[in-house]
Structures are given as structure tokens and as C-alpha cells.
Amino acid sequence: MKITRRRFMQSAAAACAASALPLGAVAFQDGIKVEGVTPETNTTCEMCSYRCPVRVHDLGSGKIFIEGNKNAGHQKTRICARGSSGYSLLNDPNRIVKPMKRKGERGAGEWEVISWEQAYTEIAEKMNALKSKHGAETIAFSAKSGSLYSQFKHFAQSFGSPNIFSHSSMCPGGRYVTADIMLGGDMVWDLKNTKYLIVFGHNLYEGVEVGDTYKTAAMQNGGGKIVSFDPRLSVVSSKADEYFFIKPGTDIVVALAMCNELIKNDLYDKEFVVEYSIGFSEFARSIENITPEFAEMYSGVKAEVIRRITREFAAAAPAAVVSPGHRTTYSFEEFDTRRALFALNALVGNFERKGGLYSKRSPEAYNKLVGTKAAPELKKIKVEYPKPAARLDALDGERFKYSIKRGGIYQRIIETALSDKPYPVKGWVMSRTNPMQTLADYPKMVEAMKAMELIVSCDVYMTDSAAFADYFLPEATYLERYEQIENRSGQSPAYSLRQPAVKTIGDAKSSALIWYELGLKLGLEEFYPWGGSMEKYIEMQTADAPELLKELKEKGFVSYGTSFLLREPSMIAKAVEKYPTAAANLGEDGTFANHMKFKTKSGKIEFYSEEIEQLWPGYGVPRFRNIKIAGSDELLFIQAKAAVHTNAATAFVPSLSDLMPSNPVWINTETAKTHGIKNGDEIVLENATGSEKGVALVTDNIRPDTVFTYMSGFGVKNGYKQTAAAASGVMCSNLLPHAVNDVTGMAVHTSAVKIFRA
């Protein structure tokens, strides 16, 4: 018998323990009342991964208004559409706020509301039974990255499982792994001082990070130039000074041709390269045949354009940057592509210079350089964990060790669940992650989930991934919970705090508290010296600096010292003026350049990596391999972030669905004619992985060999379709092949498709 939401609401109190509920049924009455609103709370947003500092205002009658936190200088009161939608998430009547247990088949949408006690008891019994039979490694744990990831990871480590995964391998991991190998760690850009910015697909006007998006616009308004290479006219491309339709997957050949031009024409910073890098000669030899003419053949970008842009870029250095990107894996040549982009930055010597790339200054590193305690330092909370077995994604020895350091090869859960190799994986605990939408090969993921003996999902909504769980544990939104203090340093030290602005609605709980309480049932109390209280945890973090906690609770974001870059004399002079003790650490040139070390094995930028050559023969230096993605009768299918939505998390949020209710498929005008497709037609995209229906957006603003849509949680299949955005559009993961990229371990988000009029 089907139970409607209205009928369920009328009888929720009586039916809590036994009734089979429709998919997405919530466990509170209509007419939500937001209570406990403080007059003004400074906290941290969680509507995307950037975690902007925000301020929450009480408007009376249980209503709130969210804006940027003016205490954060890079943010001020600015906020994006996602950030301002926090209230819509908080008081959405379709949020799930009581624990639920699956009834019937996985994905069938039949649930019953249960108590927390029952949920914890049953989950703990099943987890311990699996552990006893197969070992703790038989349960995989995955979560989105962010401040609560460390609490989730702590829970998994305490349980004894080595198989802990973040979302890195399906989003920013390619950049991070490449930076670790080539530079010893990731670097960020000094956008406000950049004079020349080159982007290959990276789009801060749609993948909005409020501070950097503002700086990008300010940089352009101040006379800075943006050059964009993209297969479609994105928002940043539409606002760029120059834009070029590049073929998907060929960023690498254009970037390497630019590197070759810099080297052949002596346009690179020889002094910087000699002082701070190794492997330059091997790199130069490996790309000597990658000319602009060669690049033009594959990319479609004219050779004369590549030469001119290269010269302009070199002339603007060091205030010139090639963006290393964010959600970057659009090619099987991901690792070489990211290295080529970092190499362009290294060749013009923009590291630790105004307008270039720099490493964030941690409070510890900053204090050491200025010779005094300019910023308080957090106390590390150490716990001794059980020794785990080998990870399931370590079956290739050390080949993917850098990927594992950055959150693991997420997609390996799928193949291991289906093969029982290298050992059985029979359980999956996930926290605010939705791989069914954001990873790849939806049909194979369904298969893998059905093969599991236990799946636990902690989330706010009934996502596609949560729909296949055995237990749903409702998480409090970011407006209802405390989290640990986060290091938010840039060119100077900074911290942020997430703290509750309202009382928690229903029986939802912070995931940190959920994992602690489940941990107690599993007998893991010894691993929680803070007793599961995040307030206690942040008190322990600030045990040596109680004034920091007081200030953070008041301001939400605090920063210290004066900004500087290690090789920028004018900035360092101001730092020495403020902290005279810093003079003792200056080099002969009056800068901190003598302290610029790279955490690679050589201590330098590695254009050539001997270690990678040993692990992955042929990958010691970047090469263009021309790995074909599509056949002659296929189109290249690409995706990107939307300014309104965040990957797979926000299609359920009513206000954001109203702003962007679907993701039409961009098709070039001539391509559409060839296929008999008109604007607004329903079409089918199909390949060996799956088939999806969408609506055609016929336009001249995309290459004829390419189709595009936004990858933002549309086209929900088994989750709750309570908004237009969730109910309609293309689910991209159903068209992406299961793949593990060489070296980076990333999933690949470019595929080949055929299109038809539906």
C-alpha cells in the first residue's frame, strides 16, 4: 500500500515505529518552527566546499537572513546564491530529521522511522559481526571533504578500518596529487595582484568561491587580462579578454607547446629554474617537438595565437598565472595536463611573488619566520588507533600512494565489492557523500550496493546513494551544529569556526555526535577523550590559547599578522616593520627566499620525477599521449559546475531548484541540424555505460564535436524527487565510464556519447 506524504503527516506519531514510509518521508508535522535563533551569529557556510565565513541574522518570527561575514576581509558581506539558500535548506519540510530503516528491496523507497537507540544498536551489531567474520577492513567509509571529515575519519580509524575515502578522486584530487608530486604540496594564487590570467576550463564565475570570484572581477576591472580556453562559452569565457574553442582533452598539448615556446625563445626565468628546480633539461627535451603547429593540429587553437599568448604571459610575469584548476579530470592525460600547467607557472618564476602562486602560511610557519608568536597555535589532539590492514586501493603497491594520501581511489570500492579482491568488502558507511551522482558508472554502482550486506548513510536528504542504504541517519545542517576550529590561513594566519545559529530541528544530530554515539555501541569510548562534544573538542584545541576561542565565538573568523610572500621585498619590509625580530631570518636579498622549500624528495620543483618514472615507467616527465576518447560517429560529453548548485548536494534545496530547475544539454547548431534536433527537443544521450534523456539547448556557443551539461545533482533516479531540479535533467554519472586514471587515481569525467531525438 502506498502512503502519501499528507497521510503520513497525519499519523506520524502513531506510525513512527512500524509503518513502511514512502521514499523521502520526513518525521515531523507541517509548519516547521525555527527556534533558538540568536540575534547575530558568525559561523561558516556549508552550501559548497569553499566554506565561506557568514553571518546569520535574526529577522524575527523564526526567520533568518544570511550574508558574508565582514570580519573576513576577503569575504566581507558578499555571498553567493548557494550561501544565501541556507534558510531554505534549514526549514525545508522534506528534510529527514529522524533515523530510518529500510524495508523491502534496496532502492525501492520503503522506510520506517526508528529510534536512535534502535539504529545504533542494530548498526553496531551488524558492523561488529562483519568485523568478526572478515576483519575491520571489510567495511569501507566515505565522506565528503570538509571540517567534519576528520571526525568521520577518526571514527573509522577507531573502528580499525583502513578503507577511508574522501570525494577527492571525483573532484579536485588530480590537482592535489600532481602538486604533491611536482611541488610537494598544493599552491594557491594571489589573484588580487595578477595582471595576466590563463584558464583552461577553470571557471570562477560558475564554480563560485566568493572571495576569489570577487578578486577575479576586480582584477579585470583593474586592467588585468583573462585568456580562456574552453570547449564551450562558459561565463568566464564570455567575460574573458580572449576566448578560444579548444577541443576537450587537448589542454595538455597547448600547455606543453607554450612551455616549449618559453624555453626555445629564452622567455623563461632561468635564475629561478636553476635555483629552485630539478629535471629541467629532461623536461625540455621531452617537449621539444611539441610546437604550436603541432598543438594546433590536435586542439584547434591557431599556432600564432599560442605564440602570442605565450609572449604576453612571459612579459606579464611574475604577476602572471596559469590556473591549475579545481574539478579538473576531463582526460585520461590528467596527470600530465596538471604538470604542464604547474610547469608554465614555474617557468616564469611566479612562485611567492605578487600576482603569482604561493603556499599558505600556517600559524606555526608564520611565527617561525617572524621570530615571535604573532598568531596563536592550535593544540593537536592525538589518539592511538588500532593497527589497520592494508587498504583495498593499495593492491598496486605504492603506485597510487599519492592518491591514497589525498583521500583514496573512491571508485575502487565499487570494483572490490563486486570481485571480493583483494578481500571482501561487505559494508559501506557514508557521510554526506553521493557517489551515485558524482562518481561514474551508475549501473555498476547499483550492482555494487546491492552486493553489500550493510550500508549506512548519514545525510540531510534522501539522495540516490542514501536510497540504497539499510539505515538513514539524519544529520543536522551547518546552521545547527558546532565543528572543530579550522585553519584558514592564506598569506597570513587565520582561523574560522562553525557554530550553531539555531536550535536543531527534529531529532537530527551533528554527524560528529552520531559517530561518537555509534562508537559507544561499538565499544570505542577510549578513542574519544572529548566525549563526543564538539564544544569540548574546540576547548581542547584552544587549551593553550583560550582567548582565541572567545574571539572566534564572537567573530567567527579571525586573522593575524600582516600578509607577505616569501620573495616579495615590499611585502616583507612591512612584515619586518611590524615584527623587527623577523630581520634575523632575512636572506642577503632582504627576502625570505632562503626559506622557500618544496616538500618533494629533492626539496625542489621536479620537472622530472625519478620516483614516478620508477612507479609509472614513461611518466617521469609530462608527455602528450593523444589518448582518444570518442570515435568518428560520437560526440565528446563534458560537464562543469553551476553557480547555483553544488555537484550532488543542492538539487533538493527548494530555493536553488527554483533558480535552476534543470540542466539542458548544449548542442552546437550545426550538430543539432545533422541529428534533426531543434531547441527544446527532448533528446537521448547514450553510450556503453548508460542512457539519459535531456532537453536540447541548441547554441553556437559550443564546439560541433562536443555536448555539455551541468553536473549538479539533476536527474535523481532512486532518491526523493521533491524539487524540479531533482526530478528532471541528466544524471551525468550514468554516462561516465568506470575508470582509474594513471598516477592520480581519478575518475574521468569526459566520455563519448551518441545523441538522438527522443
Reported confidence tier of residue 107, pLDDT bands at 50, 70, 90: confident
pLDDT surpasses 70 at 303: yes
pLDDT at 327: 63
For domain 127-171+379-555, give the fold.
Rossmann fold (3.40.50)
pLDDT at 94: 87
* pLDDT tens per residue across span 589-648: 999 999 999 999 999 999 999 999 999 999 999 999 888 888 889 999 999 989 999 877
Q: Could you tell me if 427 and 453 are in contact, meaning their C-beta atoms sit under 8 angstroms apart?
A: yes
Q: How far apart (Å, rounded) are the C-alpha atoms in residues 73 and 135?
A: 49
pLDDT surpasses 60 at 302: yes
Place of cell 596559469: 322
For residue 661, is the peptide bond before it cis, meaning its omega torsion is within 30 degrees of 0?
A: no
Q: How far apart (Å, rounded) are the C-alpha atoms in residues 712 and 53?
A: 23
Task: Kindly report the backbone phi and psi dihedral angles of residue 662, in degrees, each rounded to the nearest multiple of 5, phi listed first.
Answer: -160, 170
Residues of the chain with CATH 3.40.228.10: 188-358+597-615
Give the residue among 92, 91, 144, 106 at the shortest CA–CA distance from 23: 106
Residues of the chain with CATH 2.40.40.20: 635-757
Please give the grid coordinates belonging to residue 95: 528534510
* pLDDT tens per residue across span 370-425: 999 999 999 999 999 999 999 999 877 899 999 999 999 999 999 999 999 999 99
In this structure, how many other beta carbons lie within 10 angstroms of the beta carbon of residue 523?
Answer: 12
Reported confidence tier of residue 587, pLDDT bands at 50, 70, 90: very high
pLDDT surpasses 90 at 311: yes
Reported confidence tier of residue 529, pLDDT bands at 50, 70, 90: very high
For domain 188-358+597-615, give the fold.
Dimethylsulfoxide Reductase; domain 2 (3.40.228)
Give the residue among 505, 508, 538, 557 at the shortest CA–CA distance from 36: 505
Q: What is the CA radius of gyration of the chain?
A: 26
Distance of CA 635 to the CA centre of its chain: 27
Helix, strand, or coil here: 421? coil
Please give the grid coordinates belonging to residue 739: 575508470
Cα 752 to Cα 632, 672, 673, 689, 700: the distances in Å are 10, 16, 19, 10, 20
Q: How far apart (Å, rounded) are the C-alpha atoms in residues 378 and 544?
A: 7
Half-sphere exposure of 640 (CA within 13 A, CB side): 24
**Whole-number mean pLDDT of the chain?**
91
Q: How far apart (Å, rounded) are the C-alpha atoms in residues 12 and 19?
A: 9
Higher pLDDT, 489 or 17: 489
* pLDDT tens per residue across span 658-687: 999 999 999 999 999 999 999 999 999 999
Give the residue among 164, 156, 21, 170 at the shortest CA–CA distance from 96: 21
pLDDT at 473: 97
Half-sphere exposure of 484 (CA within 13 A, CB side): 22
First to last CA, the chain: 33
For residue 704, is the peptide bond before it cis, meaning its omega torsion is within 30 degrees of 0?
A: no
pLDDT surpasses 70 at 330: no
pLDDT at 16: 30
Q: How far apart (Å, rounded) are the C-alpha atoms in residues 513 and 155?
A: 11
Mean pLDDT, range 432-445, rounded to an integer = 90
In this structure, how many other beta carbons lie within 10 angstroms of the beta carbon of residue 55?
Answer: 23
Residues of the chain with CATH 3.40.50.740: 127-171+379-555
Cα 127 to Cα 383, 423, 453: the distances in Å are 22, 16, 10
Please give the grid coordinates belonging to residue 51: 566554506
Reported confidence tier of residue 319, pLDDT bands at 50, 70, 90: very high
Task: Kindly report the backbone phi and psi dihedral angles of residue 530, in degrees, each rounded to the nearest multiple of 5, phi listed first.
Answer: -95, 0
Task: Kindly report the backbone phi and psi dihedral angles of residue 370, in degrees, each rounded to the nearest multiple of 5, phi listed first.
Answer: -85, -5
At a CB cut-off of 8 Å and minimum separation 6, what does 330 contact?
Answer: 201, 248, 249, 251, 638, 748, 749, 750
Neighbour-count burial of 421, counting CB atoms closer than 10 A to its CB (0-12 exposed, 13-18 middle, 19+ buried): exposed
pLDDT at 171: 80
In this structure, how many other beta carbons lie within 10 angstroms of the beta carbon of residue 628?
Answer: 9
Place of cell 598568531: 375
Share of the chain above pLDDT 70, in %: 95
* pLDDT tens per residue across span 341-364: 999 999 999 999 999 999 999 999
For residue 53, is the peptide bond before it cis, meaning its omega torsion is within 30 degrees of 0?
A: no
Instruction: Give pTM, 2 decimals.
Output: 0.93
> How many residues are there in the chain?
758
Reported confidence tier of residue 7, pLDDT bands at 50, 70, 90: very low
Give the residue among 721, 667, 673 at the shortest CA–CA distance from 695: 667
Give the residue among 367, 741, 310 at the shortest CA–CA distance from 544: 367
Give the residue among 646, 483, 541, 502 at the shortest CA–CA distance from 44: 483
Reported confidence tier of residue 33, pLDDT bands at 50, 70, 90: low
Q: How far apart (Å, rounded) are the C-alpha atoms in residues 30 and 39?
A: 25
pLDDT at 21: 35
Neighbour-count burial of 650, counting CB atoms closer than 10 A to its CB (0-12 exposed, 13-18 middle, 19+ buried): buried
- Is 635-757 in CATH node 2.40.40.20? yes
Distance of CA 505 to the CA centre of its chain: 28
Reported confidence tier of residue 32, pLDDT bands at 50, 70, 90: low
The DSSP call for residue 667 is: E
Give the residue among 182, 272, 275, 279 at the shortest CA–CA distance from 599: 182
Q: How far apart (Å, rounded) are the C-alpha atoms in residues 1 and 477?
A: 32
pLDDT surpasses 60 at 82: yes
pLDDT at 328: 54
Q: How far apart (Å, rounded) are the C-alpha atoms in residues 235 and 740?
A: 30
pLDDT surpasses 50 at 313: yes
Helix, strand, or coil here: 57? strand
Task: Kindly report the backbone phi and psi dihedral angles of residue 155, in degrees, each rounded to the nearest multiple of 5, phi listed first.
Answer: -60, -45
Q: How far apart (Å, rounded) are the C-alpha atoms in residues 73 and 557?
A: 9
pLDDT at 170: 79
Q: How far apart (Å, rounded) are the C-alpha atoms in residues 528 and 340?
A: 44
Reported confidence tier of residue 61, pLDDT bands at 50, 70, 90: confident
Task: Kindly report the backbone phi and psi dihedral angles of residue 622, in degrees, each rounded to the nearest multiple of 5, phi listed first.
Answer: -65, 140
